[in-house]
Structures are given as structure tokens and as C-alpha cells.
Amino acid sequence: MEIRGLIFDFDGLILETEEPVYRSWQEVYGRFGQKLDFATWATIIGTVPAGYDPLDELEALIGHPIPAREALEAQRLQQELDLIYARQPQPGVLALLRDARQRGLKSGVASSSSRSWVIGHLTRLKLLDYFDCVKARDDVRQVKPDAELYFMVLRELGLEAGEAIAFEDSSNGVTAARQAGLFCVAVPNEMTRSLPLDHANLRLDSLAEMSLDELVRLARARMAA
């Protein structure tokens, strides 16, 4: 089966947003003499945590309500955005998108973040026009590690699972892609490098590590085996 499309995660894969989010929360916890446990945080990377609120967790740790909670969260969010807006797309992203367009491959995004978040950043980074389809948590009932986002993107692009390569940086994302039947390339960032990603078909240190032609040949060979 020919490879006819590429499907990308967004956060941590196209744009490194995950470390700024974690860093901003670390600072908040530090103000109260607490440490944000990375093992707990790692479980929510690449998904939307049901019932998990870092501020609720902090209040439980310190044993009392946080003063001016809304103002504190607004300050944290501004710090997060300042850190994210200072970043450029991850290495290899633009070259891979350009190569895909030149070869006539379709490109899509499957993200557990909100549609406004993904579209906003893709527009700011001048990457939106490279994608034929963008699906986010607003479009599905279940986000990753459920495979619904991937199934929706495949339908939108008119592709079978065996005709696309998925790119993910998190364990939750890899699980979703594999459950959808896709050949999945894990490209971890500093936040996810130590997480279990062995269920991916291939692991790279960067999207710049391997050319599109090499990726397609490898995916075809692995799927035919």
C-alpha cells in the first residue's frame, strides 16, 4: 500500500509547548514551597486530564485555599504564553511539510488541544496552509489515548490507516495512533524523552533526522513485513 499522507500531533511535536506549561506550573508550586511531581504530570501529556487540576492539587498539598487564585492562574498563563510565543517550530517540521506538499502527500493534524489553540499557533507560525485537515478535541468525544482523533483525520483525508504515517511525541499519542492502525514515528522532546515510547514503530531524536523518502520507504517495508 502506498503512503499518501502524514498526520501530526501538535503540542510538543510541531511546537514545543509542553515544557513551558510545566515550567510555569513548577514556578507556581515553588512559590508555596512545593514541587510539581513530574511522574504525575507525565501521565497527562498528550491528553486532556479528566478531573485533574494542578491548582486543586496544590491546595491539597498546602492544606488551605490559594489566595487570589484567579489572579495567580492569570499570571501563570501569561508566563506560559510568553515562553511559547518565543519558540519556533521544532527542527525538521517545515522541511517535512514542504517535502510532503512537493510529493503530493496529504497532511493533517490530530491534537488533543482545543481547535482555537492549534489553529491560532499554526496561523502565527505560517504553517496552517500546509495542512489539508486539522482535528482537535472540539471535534471528538474522546481524546488521546483514544484513537477517535486519528480515525476522524483519516476519514477527512480520504485515507486508509495503511496509507498514512503518524508523528507523535507522547505515550498517549503513540497509543492513539497505533490503535488506529497507523505506522507511528515517536519524536520525543525534553519533556517526553524519558517516557515509555517503545510501542511506536520508529523513534527519532528529531524530524530532521530522516528524510521523507527514507521514512516512506521504511514505513512501507515495515508494514509489508
In tens, the pLDDT along 58-72 reads 999 999 999 899 999
pLDDT at res. 50: 67
**C-alpha distances in angstroms, 206 versus 7, 97, 199?**
16, 14, 18
> Which secondary structure element, helix H or strand E, spans residue 94, and what is its range?
helix 93-102
Average pLDDT along the chain: 94
Prior bond of 145 cis (ω within 30°): yes
pLDDT at res. 43: 80
Distance CA 87, CA 184 (A): 25
Cβ contact 92:215 at 8 Å: no
Query: How large is the average pLDDT for residues 127-139?
Result: 97
pLDDT at res. 37: 85
The string of pLDDT tens digits covering residues 178-216 is 999 999 999 999 889 988 999 999 999 999 999 999 999
Closest CA to 109 of 99, 49, 120: 120
Q: Flag whether pLDDT at 10 surpasses 90.
A: yes
Q: So which residues are the catalytic ones?
A: 9, 11
Give, rounded to a whole angstrom, the gap between the first and last alpha carbons of the chain.
12
Q: Flag whether pLDDT at 51 surpasses 80.
A: no
Distance CA 210, CA 96 (A): 9
Q: Flag whether pLDDT at 49 surpasses 80.
A: no
DSSP letter, residue 210: S
